[in-house]
Structure 1
Amino acid sequence: MTPTTFGAAAQGFVRDLDEDFVRIAATIDRARAAGVQVLALPEAAMGGYLSSLHDVPGTPADRPPQLDPDGPEIRRLVALAGDMVVAAGYCETGDDASGGRPYNSCVAVTGDGILGHHRKVHQPINENSSYAAGDRFAAFDTPYGRTGMMICYDKAFPEAARALADDGARTVLCLSAWPASRTNRAPVLAEDRWARRFDLHDRSRALENQFVWVSANQAGTFGDMQLVASAKIVDPGGEVLATTGSEAGLAVATVDVDAEVDAARRVMGHLRDRRPAAYGPGPVHAGV
């Protein structure tokens, strides 16, 4: 394949969908002007994330608008994408399987329609009081190669990224609304321990699986959270090719995905050299 130009956005979003689409359109325009072919927008770009992961009893819950995966908002994203692949997060209307509870979801589209869809599997703190969990990781084909998606806390679990690699993904788009620490927050955002963890997960997942990692994140403040930004593109060796740092912005990098992935796996092939029989199923640990 020829080289692909990736964009990863660090940007804030709100409850007002019309305002969110103004911001999405502006970011797509900026990315298109930079030659971006695959753009990752953050988790909850359509409708905003939860305003708190620490609900106070007696305080009315502030929840994102629930959107139909076949509804007008997704069609609006499709129309904006044109010839670009655009991934964005949203709150998906619940179904019978979820008992009517919504999912924290993301979708990848082009102007021709939907390419892939993912429901967040791993739920931090008490996110499960607001969303039902997804139950799978699956790659999908795009004009720029086989791709996977995950959302935020999913990245903290090596098995999630490995499942996508096993399904043939050579690029993963990870969409987040990752906050800084709630307690003992560092005075410099880039030095906050949760910001460092965000970056470590990004680099580790790319290196472990030797694929291209495109990480978008919310920026600024929302509710009681300070979001860490730090959108980036990471190569199959775990090297950061472009990043927004702790500011809002757009990270852009061009990668020959097949050439870089093949080169990374040629000698030290992490997928090839595994010994699954030695690992076993492992114990199941109760939460503490």
Structure 2
Amino acid sequence: MASTRRVAVIQWHIKDVEAEQNHATACNYIRQSAAEGAELAVLPEYHLSGMVPNDPRWAIQAADSAKFASYPERSLRSRRDRMEPPIFYNTAYFISNDGSILGSYIKKNIWHPERPHLTSSGLDRHVAIDTPIGRVGMLICWDLAFPEAFRELIADGADIVIIPTYWTPHDASADCIKYNPNTEGLFLETTLTARAFENTCGIIFCNAAGPSEDFLGLSQITLPLVGPVAKMGSEEGICVADMDLKVLEVAEKNYKVRQDIKKDDWHYVYRHSSK
């Protein structure tokens, strides 16, 4: 396994419920990423639809999302029961370069405004995926706030955690903004670096972009010891960078986080294991 992996984050101003246009944009950016040598390209959450659940077209598009699964997709999937209305999940897919789906993840920690529209994965465990770039875990957006999600993936062998996101400045309330107008940016910057350190893992974080008053961007590739090795602002486009996974080995040798959580006498009430 190579110690360095070249990866890309892709962020753009997603058009609400314009799946065909968004899909074409994603494909163009993926091709550009490949031309720059990227082995992996990560797209934002809701990259086909935007986050407009009150638009009736949003649910209709979600039911048709499987047609776009030929590319890395953060889509809504529906299940219709005879006696129940449709149930919508926010699902991220890891798709290999040969088009096969290597794994998927349903968002567990649903952001408050999403809860009337989406269903959590509930008690399902966080499971890592074997991929051509190594063992990878996937989370989605608000999962970032919960260190337990990372711990389960790390215990299952993940070295890299991918986080597609649709995180905006409007996620902060007016009361929060009174204390700090950039509170959401601060949340992302500090938490991503902290998660990389406390789990000795690489993080590929990909957000939506657009006008700075409405979008944060800040897509980045982050490692322990060094922090972000590449980072975007709120501009549209791609960012391609090398992840030196040797850093993870050096960080673990120094901090021994993974070694400690594997101990039989791990001293916290909850345990994180792959069992």
| TM-score where L is the length of structure 1 | 0.81
- CA, structure 1 residues 238+118, in 2 after alignment: closer, same or farther (shift >3 Å)? farther
**Which of 133, 148, 157 does residue 120 from structure 2 map onto?**
133
Aligned residues: 258
Q: Displacement, 1:247?
A: 2.3
What letter is aligned with 1:228?
L
Question: Cα distance, 1:183 vs. partner?
Answer: 2.7
Does the residue aligned with 1:177 lie in a helix, a strand or coil? coil
Q: Is the 8 A contact 2:260 2:266 kept in 1?
A: no
TM-aligned CA distance change 1:227 to 1:205, over 3 Å: same
- 1:173-184 aligned at under 5 Å gives the runs 173-180=162-169, 181-183=172-174
Question: Residues 128-166 of structure 1, C-alpha deviation per residue, up to 9 Å, x if partnerless?
Answer: 101111133111011110001110000100000111111
- The CA RMSD over aligned residues, in Å, is 2.7
CA distance in 2, matches of 1:207, 1:37: 24
1:66 maps to a residue whose letter is A
Match of residue 172, structure 1, among 161, 164, 183: 161
Instruction: Give the CA deviation at 1:95.
Output: 5.3
Matched, 1:123 2:110: yes
Q: Whole-Å Cα distance in 2 between the matches of residues 234 and 63 of structure 1?
A: 32
2:62 counterpart residue number: 66
SS at match of 1:273: helix
Residue identity opposite 2:62 in structure 1: Q
Q: Deviations over 1:70-107 (max 9, x none)?
A: x32113x2xxxxxxxxx4311111355x9631101111
2:69, 2:27 → 1: CA distance? 13
Secondary structure, counterpart of 2:186 in structure 1: helix
Q: Is the 8 A contact 1:233 1:252 kept in 2?
A: no
Instruction: After TM superposition, give the deviation of residue 236 of structure 1 in Å.
Output: 2.8
Alpha-carbon offset, residue 244 of structure 1 = 0.6
Amino acid at match of 1:250: I
Task: Verify the 8 A CA contact 1:67 1:73 in the aligned structure 2.
Answer: no
User: Deviation digits for residues 37-94 of structure 1, max 9, x if unmatched?
Assistant: 111100011222236xxx7xxxx6663521467x32113x2xxxxxxxxx43111113
Distance 2:176 2:14 in 1: 22
| Structure-1 separation of matches of 2:131 and 2:8 | 15
Give the equivalent residue in structure 2 for 1:84: none
Contact 2:210 2:234 in 1 (8 A): no
Q: Work out the CA distance in 2 between the residues paired with 1:116 and 1:158.
A: 22
Pairing 1:85-124 to 2, within 5 Å after superposition? 87-94=72-79, 100-110=86-96, 111-124=98-111
In the alignment, is residue 201 of structure 1 matched against residue 197 of structure 2?
A: no
**Residue in 1 that maps onto 2:206:** 216
Q: Name the SS for the 2:233 alignment partner.
A: coil
Cα separation, partners in 2 of 1:237 and 1:62, compared to 1, 3 Å: farther
Q: Whole-Å Cα distance in 1 between the matches of residues 207 and 79 of structure 2?
A: 24
* Aligned mates of 2:49, 2:113 — CA distance in 1: 19
> Which residue in 1 is equivalent to 2:240?
252
In structure 2, stretches of 5+ residues that fail to align are none
Q: Which residue of 2 aligns with 1:157?
A: 146
Instruction: Give the letter for the 1:209 counterpart.
Output: N
Task: Tell whether the 8 Å contact from 2:196 to 2:223 is kept in structure 1 after alignment.
Answer: yes
Structure 1 residues 62 and 228: CA distance shift in structure 2, 3 A: farther
SS in structure 1 of the partner of residue 251 of structure 2: helix
1:12 corresponds in structure 2 to: 13
Tell me by how many angstroms 1:220 deviates: 1.7
Q: How much has 1:208 moved relative to structure 2?
A: 0.9
**Equivalent position SS for 1:63:** helix
Aligned residues of 1:6 and 1:254 also touching (Cα < 8 A): yes
Shift of 1:213: 0.4
